Chains A and B, each alone.
Chain A
Amino acid sequence: MNEKQMLLTIEPVKDHPAARLLRFSGDLDSTNAETVTATVQNLLQQGARDLVADFSKLRYINSTGLGALLFANKKTKEAGGSIKLAAVNENVFEIIEIIGANTLLDIYRTLEDAYAALK
């Protein structure tokens, strides 16, 4: 993992024991996308079902980073849950949109909106 480029922290979500909050900061790219994939797999193996990704501090994403998100989307759905992206900045959203991934991913304006959508 490229520690200087991206930090990823994991927190529990109040009132949702099967959910985890993933806070991203920095750049999600080819140097750290596989770390995200491995983290998601670990969380699912540990019993997490829903993931909420806080992108408010994510500056940059490339196509490989986006691939990691789509992988997480697929795996959480297979586990009966979902991954919800919140507070995506304009530039990152444009990359997601250009690839057409905005139709595949659940994207929310704020973290509170994403929490509210958890079942």
Chain B
Amino acid sequence: MNVPQVSLESLAEEPSVSVLRLSGDIGIEHISGIVQRVDALPENKRAHLLIDLSAVGFLSSPVVGALMGCRERLSRKGCSISLLSPRPELAEKLELMGVNLVFRHYRTKEDFLKDFRWEAREESRKLQLQIPARAGYVPALRHLISGLLLCKGYSSREAFVLESIVDELSNNAIEHGHPPDKKFCITFSFDKRHARLAVTNSCPELSPEEQEKVRDKFRNPRVESDAFRGRGIALIKKLSDEMTFHVEARKIQVVVTKLREEL
């Protein structure tokens, strides 16, 4: 059996993250060492403590209680705390004790880093796709966008709005762009504060007058009250916080930004 050890160090990939590494069987005799190290962490709102349990064979209930206390004191300093890679038997025990309801826990360091960078660094996620220019592909695309947003904590209303925007932009590219290469490109990026969507399509060559006509359609969308189609651009403008467009002889790109309403 390994000699029980307690150590504290910075995470190489994210220096504001301290890693409390525990190994072997951790019992009541280790509590003071753990508490001393954790309580010595400086006050820092962006700091995080990751408790690496990957090498722990046994963790006694008093230690779990002490970690709960550490969590409480750290949260008063503005720091957050999570658990990393408990072995299956320990994970089961922690779950039975309800620890998983109190601490965020991650299976791998990579999972933790992804989440930490999203939460603390407000890192964005980005997706770029080329889609066949057929209406039948659009529902899957908009469900994908909506699902990604819901997974990252956007509300169902926010996801619905972005779903509507991607739907209207895609249908606009298909129905009005008539892309000769039969596809359009979507670039979607989002973080905790905003989402940005760019839809680009090729088009049959537009004369300068035709280009200006397209720009005018984006600037001043006119809606006939009983027309079957033609409300998409007006809807996008009202749902988004910013809409810009770039019209060239053979290419049209529309870029929409939507700020989050519910942070």
Question: Which of B163, B229, B231 has the most chain A CB atoms closer than 10 A to its own CB?
Answer: B231
User: Shortest beta-carbon distance, A41 to chain B, in Å?
Assistant: 12
CB of A74 within 8 A of chain B? yes
- Beta-carbon contact of B228 and A68 below 8 Å: yes
A37 to B138: give the CA distance in the assembly, Å: 20
- Beta-carbon contact of B171 and A99 below 8 Å: no
Question: Which of A2, A62, A70, A104 has the most chain B CB atoms closer than 10 A to its own CB?
Answer: A62
Report the interface size for chain A: residues with CB under 8 A from the other chain: 24
A28 to B156: give the CA distance in the assembly, Å: 18
Contacts of B66 in A (CB 8 A): none
Specify the chain B residue showing the minimal Cβ separation from A70.
Answer: B226
A62 to B138: give the CA distance in the assembly, Å: 12
Given A60-B163, A64-B171; A5-B235 close (CB under 8 Å): no
CB of B232 within 8 A of chain A? yes
- Beta-carbon contact of A67 and B135 below 8 Å: no
A66 to B131: give the CA distance in the assembly, Å: 24
Report the interface size for chain B: residues with CB under 8 A from the other chain: 26
What does DSSP make chain A's interface, helix, strand, loop or mixed? helix
Given A29-B167, A63-B168, A63-B232; A99-B223 close (CB under 8 Å): yes
Contacts of B136 in A (CB 8 A): 2, 31
- Beta-carbon contact of A71 and B235 below 8 Å: no
Given A91-B160, A95-B164, A99-B223; A63-B231 close (CB under 8 Å): yes
What does DSSP make chain B's interface, helix, strand, loop or mixed? helix
**Which residues in window 70-115 of A have CB below 8 A to B?**
70-71, 74, 90-91, 95, 98-99, 104
- Beta-carbon contact of B231 and A67 below 8 Å: yes
**Which residues in window 226-263 of B have CB below 8 A to A?**
226-232, 234-235, 238-239
Contacts of B27 in A (CB 8 A): none
- Beta-carbon contact of B228 and A62 below 8 Å: no
CB of B62 within 8 A of chain A? no
User: Shortest beta-carbon distance, B183 to chain A, in Å?
Assistant: 17
A95 to B156: give the CA distance in the assembly, Å: 15
User: Shortest beta-carbon distance, B217 to chain A, in Å?
Assistant: 14
User: Shortest beta-carbon distance, A108 to chain B, in Å?
Assistant: 21
Specify the chain A residue showing the minimal Cβ separation from B235.
Answer: A63
Known: A68-B228, A98-B238. 8 other contacts (CB 8 A): A29-B139, A37-B228, A62-B168, A64-B228, A67-B229, A70-B225, A70-B228, A95-B164
A residues neighboring B (CB under 8 Å): 2, 5, 27, 29-31, 33, 37, 60, 62-64, 66-68, 70-71, 74, 90-91, 95, 98-99, 104
Would you list 13 pairs from A and B whose C-beta atoms are within 8 A, ordered by A residue? A2-B136, A29-B139, A62-B235, A63-B168, A63-B229, A63-B232, A67-B228, A74-B226, A98-B235, A98-B239, A99-B223, A99-B234, A104-B225
B residues neighboring A (CB under 8 Å): 135-136, 138-139, 156-157, 160, 163-164, 167-168, 171, 175, 223, 225-232, 234-235, 238-239
